[in-house]
Chains A and B, each alone.
Chain A
């Protein structure tokens, strides 16, 4: 099994395209471009790679890390097991040195001696005088700092076997219009590379080898993909208030609209409203949605809280609008630059009174794109707020993503909208009348026809849209909303179900937990323990979720939050027996890893499957495999 090291502590055999490393720097020094360069080079070498940015809520001067994992088998979830640490930030040396795997490497700047207290006997230290080299080669403090980052990239080219031609190509693409910067970057890369070749044993046992060139993949973050989804779905009104980690969704929508929706004379086919707060942003999309435009707002947990009242209004008055919740670590301000799945309950039941909402849970950028398009159709079909719920890991990190494709045959589904001809055939128009028996009443758009005019009110209303405090009149509408919700249930993106022969348990997850769960299932399979996977992609849950839960005696529900919110939703919204659902939770702010899932699942599974799988097991029961990557 790749990534399992059954031998000693030291990785003696070379590990090609299967390891993880981490770069520790100070934020605001330009290390992001060096790290992005490394990620792209590996991706262009055809090797599955992921990059996770672990950054502070700060602009300059605090510690920041970039974690890279390569896996020829395509396991790209976060791993906490780093074979190499590029320690460029003295203030985190101690923590960084402690984190490297036994037998691993520490690359550091030996322009200054390393404190003896940082010496570990079980790792190899690779010193490169990066600061000294850059001081000798470059002039000006800023250039020296910037180029030091590119220089460590050069060292990594030599140590890990990154393709130098691709490095040069990328630098050329990036700096094609800034020749002098291109030159400095070339020099800096060579500086690191040449020094490493001359003084270090290159390449290391962990190294890269080109795999078959694979043009099917790009590197893209979820917020960019979601913004693209908004453009392709025909959204014209975006309202927002800046908040990490949702901001880049609107940034990207803006850039894309400037490119695709702006005429040469500057005329725009879109409107972006930067609101005074999230309350206003929500109100704007409700107003625009009511008016008949496809409208959306991107936010995160704190913003979602502020939007709550409007969400209830949109639910009750049946106004289509799309909300993006790029989740971050709460509660309160929490850790704004760390990830979590902490808003599941907030989203599902947002606002006071009897409310429940359609929510979609993309697992990666590709799904961010397609589920965004679906969200706009669903919002208009069901005339209700629809939530696209991702998280910081998906939204901000670059993921190896299949090239996004578009079907030119697609046309938006505006749902039941009555125009003048349809209204002419009616004796009278009643806004909330269920004519078709599916719980969905037809709407009209303002300004189209006097006959279709009605009064949207958040106060009690009957099926005609008239104000009411009448028991039956009120309840009739509220009950129809439940029927509408039930109609939606079967129209939502289906859950992903993967069955394995002889499965002894079921693993349930959503969103960005997908990669870690799949990897954990593969690791278990290698130990003779088969598990089925259920990844829900929408709320309300498909009936298939009920069926699958009923089929399994042992069910693990994976949550990236403290209280097991997905588990709570399953208990609340399916007929599953509560005690049957075991909870696997990870909520430290980092993306969940396979090892964590394994640790929680393995003991229970082994006691359950004892005797069944004992013969095929390669390690002793209860003993955790060493995960390298």
Chain B
């Protein structure tokens, strides 16, 4: 039997796995789960010091499918950022990862996502973006492109929200886009996002095998699976030496989705400056105008103040503070009462 690879903690990849996925066979989300497992393994994070949170939807189920020894919270639809904010406020020491979907993040929970970005909560936020409501069987979502067709053949006429552009405008301190089929690109970005101090936002395009799968699209899916190694990744992960990527600069790769539409995944080129928000935004727009989708780590600001730095919270997690350090006692109350006379 071949010896299993072990990380710095002496743990194997299996120690970072979770329950068996109940998603449809071949779901893009499962690939993201595998990438998350890999990222946690490579970073050698103590499993029980990780906290995984999610809302409602197919994507949100996946927190049960990785790092089973991490504490998990599957809350209400679209409101994971609030739970994460409160948990993080109470304990700044743990590693927080939130998993959400396009319905969860861009419709019912759009406000929550925006404000978690503003608050710069120290967490990794993964938006598993399949452009469709899977669990309720195929309605258009807020990220469905105009002209994209549902399984029933209707064309979507309402313009989409681009979560990456939105995150940039809202002042997110870490903004990336990747593809579920591109583990080479995704794993380093996840690792970078976990390491980022502040709100790390990753939009991951993740094909839905069931409801973006009209006539002929099964092949399209197979095509993506087959060609995922060819999809270019990003090299802009400057914060950890251990994070490496394999890519060739400046390549545009068309990828056919289940519904037959084609995505152009573009690796950011060598001249790109990921620390300039303005550059990131115009680059994104420029590619979008050409019908391409820029992927990679598009923007990063490492010197930002997260929730706790900004609020000057004590280093000890609030939930661990002893009662004596919180209750002012009878003498202080007695003194205070004189002020209300």
The chain B residue sitting closest to A238, CB to CB, is: B89
User: At the interface with chain B, which of A126-134, A155-163, A285-293, A571-579?
Assistant: A285-293
Q: Which residues of A contact B84 (CB under 8 A)?
A: 287
Say whether A411 contacts B333, CB under 8 Å. Answer: no
Say whether B71 contacts A453, CB under 8 Å. Answer: yes
The chain A residue sitting closest to B326, CB to CB, is: A234
Say whether A288 contacts B86, CB under 8 Å. Answer: yes
Q: Which residues of A contact B312 (CB under 8 A)?
A: 266-268
Q: Does B8 contact A (CB under 8 A)?
A: no
Least Cβ distance of A352 to chain B in Å?
11
Q: Does A269 contact B (CB under 8 A)?
A: yes
Q: Which residues of A contact B311 (CB under 8 A)?
A: 268, 271-272
Say whether B91 contacts A231, CB under 8 Å. Answer: no
Q: Does B332 contact A (CB under 8 A)?
A: yes
Q: Does B74 contact A (CB under 8 A)?
A: yes
Q: Which residues of A contact B313 (CB under 8 A)?
A: 267-268, 271
Say whether A458 contacts B74, CB under 8 Å. Answer: yes
**Which B67-86 residues have C-beta < 8 A from chain A?**
68-76, 79, 81-86
Bound-state CA distance A44–B86 (Å) is 43
Q: Which residues of B contact A34 (CB under 8 A)?
A: none
Say whether A239 contacts B314, CB under 8 Å. Answer: no
Say whether A269 contacts B86, CB under 8 Å. Answer: no
The chain A residue sitting closest to B337, CB to CB, is: A403
Say whether A286 contacts B83, CB under 8 Å. Answer: yes
Q: Does B233 contact A (CB under 8 A)?
A: no
Contact of B82 among A275, A411, A450 (CB under 8 A): A275
Chain B positions 65 through 109: 1 when the CB is less than 8 Å from some CB of chain A, otherwise 0:
000111111111001011111111111011000000000000000
Q: Does B318 contact A (CB under 8 A)?
A: yes
Say whether B90 contacts A237, CB under 8 Å. Answer: yes
Interface residue tally of chain A, by bracket?
A: 35 or more
Say whether B76 contacts A293, CB under 8 Å. Answer: no
Given contacts A218-B340, A404-B333, A407-B330, contact A292 B321 (CB under 8 A): no
Say whether A284 contacts B82, CB under 8 Å. Answer: yes
The chain A residue sitting closest to B53, CB to CB, is: A287
Say whether B326 contacts A261, CB under 8 Å. Answer: yes
Q: Which residues of B contact A478 (CB under 8 A)?
A: none
Given contacts A287-B85, A408-B330, A449-B48, contact A280 B79 (CB under 8 A): yes
Interface residue tally of chain B, by bracket?
A: 35 or more
Q: Which residues of A contact B51 (CB under 8 A)?
A: 446-447
Say whether A453 contacts B86, CB under 8 Å. Answer: no
Q: Does B341 contact A (CB under 8 A)?
A: yes
Contact of A232 among B76, B85, B308, B327 (CB under 8 A): B327
Q: Does B235 contact A (CB under 8 A)?
A: no
Say whether B337 contacts A218, CB under 8 Å. Answer: yes
Least Cβ distance of B327 to chain A in Å?
5
Residue of B86, B93, B326, B341 ringed by the most chain A CB atoms within 10 A: B86
Q: Does B188 contact A (CB under 8 A)?
A: no
Q: Does B153 contact A (CB under 8 A)?
A: no
**Which A226-262 residues have C-beta < 8 A from chain B?**
228, 231-237, 239, 260-261
Least Cβ distance of A379 to chain B in Å?
14
Q: Which residues of A contact B68 (CB under 8 A)?
A: 453
Bound-state CA distance A290–B63 (Å) is 17
Q: Which residues of A contact B63 (CB under 8 A)?
A: 455
Q: Does A283 contact B (CB under 8 A)?
A: yes
Contact of B79 among A236, A283, A291, A453 (CB under 8 A): A283
Chain B positions 301 through 315: 1 when the CB is less than 8 Å from some CB of chain A, otherwise 0:
000000110011111
Q: Does B319 contact A (CB under 8 A)?
A: yes
Say whether A269 contacts B90, CB under 8 Å. Answer: no
The chain A residue sitting closest to B328, CB to CB, is: A260
Say whether A290 contacts B87, CB under 8 Å. Answer: yes
Q: Which residues of A contact B93 (CB under 8 A)?
A: 447
Least Cβ distance of B101 to chain A in Å?
16
Least Cβ distance of A311 to chain B in Å?
10
Chain A positions 24 through 44: 1 when the CB is less than 8 Å from some CB of chain B, otherwise 0:
000000000000000010011
23 A-B pairs with CB atoms under 8 Å apart are A43-B341, A231-B327, A234-B323, A260-B328, A267-B312, A273-B86, A276-B115, A280-B85, A280-B111, A283-B79, A286-B75, A286-B83, A286-B86, A287-B89, A288-B87, A291-B319, A293-B89, A404-B337, A405-B334, A453-B47, A453-B68, A453-B69, A456-B74
Q: Which residues of B contact A (CB under 8 A)?
A: 47-49, 51, 53, 63-64, 68-76, 79, 81-91, 93-94, 111-112, 114-115, 119, 307-308, 311-315, 318-321, 323, 325-330, 332-334, 336-337, 340-341
A283-B86, A290-B83 provided; 12 other pairs, C-beta below 8 A? A269-B326, A271-B307, A272-B311, A280-B81, A284-B82, A284-B89, A288-B319, A291-B87, A447-B51, A447-B91, A453-B70, A458-B74
